[in-house]
Amino acid sequence: MTGPVLKVDDLSVSFGTRTGRAMVVNDVSYEIGASETLAIVGESGSGKSVSSLALLQLLPVPPARVAGRAEFGGGDLLSMPDPEIRAVRGNRIAMIFQDPMTSLNPVRTIGYQLMEPLRMHMGMDKAAARARSIELLELVGIPSADERMDDYPQQFSGGMRQRVMIAMGISCEPDLLIADEATTALDVTTQAQIIEEIKQLQDRMGLALIWITHDLGVVAGIADRVVVLYGGAIMEEAAIDLLFDDPRHPYTRALLESLPVPGMDRPRRLQAIPGLPPDPVHLPAGCPFAPRCAYAQDICTSERPALTFPLEGHGVACHFDPEVFDG
């Protein structure tokens, strides 16, 4: 690994709303290397999608306000002028969205939509773009790709459409692919297939992958490292095994306890986390998780804990050592 592909520093995103400024992402920093898979995990409203949209300047500014740095290919994604960021989008960083039913234009053929980025970024002519598109469809496992090029999105099932989206995403051989809940809308079988295919593509192309999801089960199957977001801030960051075996943040622990564990001898009651995620307009002054945290002390409500790395490669934003919680 020769330096990170993407290095995000203190990324903050806020939105002007009628009731005040909504702090949706707060000082998020992470990096990702080539061929690495970073999972960004969080519940709805934790800022996970917004933080990735912000990277490609896809948020409407205003009402959004974006601060921080995102180093990619020697430049800062967040401050690139329009033509430059456009040359990055779809070309060097591609995104796959959650809903495969609506992320394709219903009045254009699959072929047209696949050929579009190829013609925009690679300057291919129609014939070359078509040939390449057929290859891509075959690569993502769509049978009789040649004929299906002239079909419309509504002739494809959800899983097939997501495959088409992946084909579009990888068409220009990007360095980084951001999958925003890419398999959430699919049934479990299809989900497993798509994840398998993405992993194969990643191996083949040396792709860095950011996998945004709320589903820790999916994370376990795909990620190398995990960033846990809550209230727009990183609660914990660790390699996948570390996170599952030795979660150090109370939120991560609560999250894991709310999951069923297959193969457990005695079924246990799943633990829901009491309370609601914080309102981004009125974030708590201290730790965003404090109001719902079983171990919260006075300091938790008054002072925001910084993300520290007491162990190499395992970051936690909590005032306390996990031993406190076990005791």
Partner 1 sequence: MADPTPTAPPPATHDAGEPIAEHRSRMRVTIDTVLRNRLAVIGLVVLALLVLAAIFGPTIAPYDINDINIADRLQGLSSSHWFGTDELGRDVFSRVLVGARVSLTVGFIAVGIAVVIGVPIGLVSGFYGGATDSWLMRLMDILFSLPAILLAIAILAVLGPGIVNAMIAIGIVYTPIFARITRGSVLTVKESVFVRAARSLGATDTRILRSHILPNVVAPIIVQTSLSLAFAILAEAALSFLGLGVQPPEPAWGRMLSEGRGFFQQAPWMAIFPGLAIVITVMAFNFVGDGLRDALDPQQRSVIESRGVG
Whichever of 46 and 190 has its CB closer to partner 1, that residue is 190
Least Å distance, CB 75 to partner 1, is 15
C-alpha closest to that of 56 among 34, 35, 76: 76
Among 173, 180, 192, 59, which Cα is nearest to 124's?
173
Contact 211, 42 (CB under 8 A): no
Instruction: Output DSSP code: residue 54.
Output: H
Contacts with partner 1 by CB under 8 A lie at 56, 58, 86-91, 94-95, 97-99, 102-108, 112, 116-117, 120-121, 141, 143, 151-152, 154-160, 165, 168, 187, 189-190, 193
Closest approach of partner 1 to the CB of residue 53, in Å: 8
Q: Which is nearer to partner 1, 11 or 88 (CB)?
A: 88
Residue 314 CA, chain-centre distance (Å), reads 19
Q: Which is nearer to partner 1, 190 or 252 (CB)?
A: 190
Least distance to partner 1, CB of residue 324, Å: 43
Query: In the complex with partner 1, which residue's Cβ is closer, 94 or 240?
Result: 94
Q: Which strand ranges, in their side-by-side order, compose the sheet holding 6-17?
A: 20-32, 6-17, 64-72, 75-76
- Minimum CB separation from partner 1 for residue 282, in Å? 27
Of residues 152 and 244, the one with the C-beta less far from partner 1? 152
Q: Which helix (H) or strand (E) holds 232?
A: none
Alpha-carbon gap, residue 114 to 277, rounded angstroms: 39
Q: At closest approach, how far in Å is the CB of 122 from partner 1?
A: 11
Question: What is the closest distance, in whole angstroms, from the C-beta atom of residue 67 to partner 1 in the complex?
Answer: 21
DSSP 80-146: --HHHHHHHBTTTEEEE-S-TTTSS-TTS-HHHHHHHHHHHHS---HHHHHHHHHHHHHHTT-TTHH
| DSSP-assigned beta bridge partners for residue 226 | 39, 238
User: Residue 157 or residue 258: which is nearer to partner 1 going by CB?
Assistant: 157
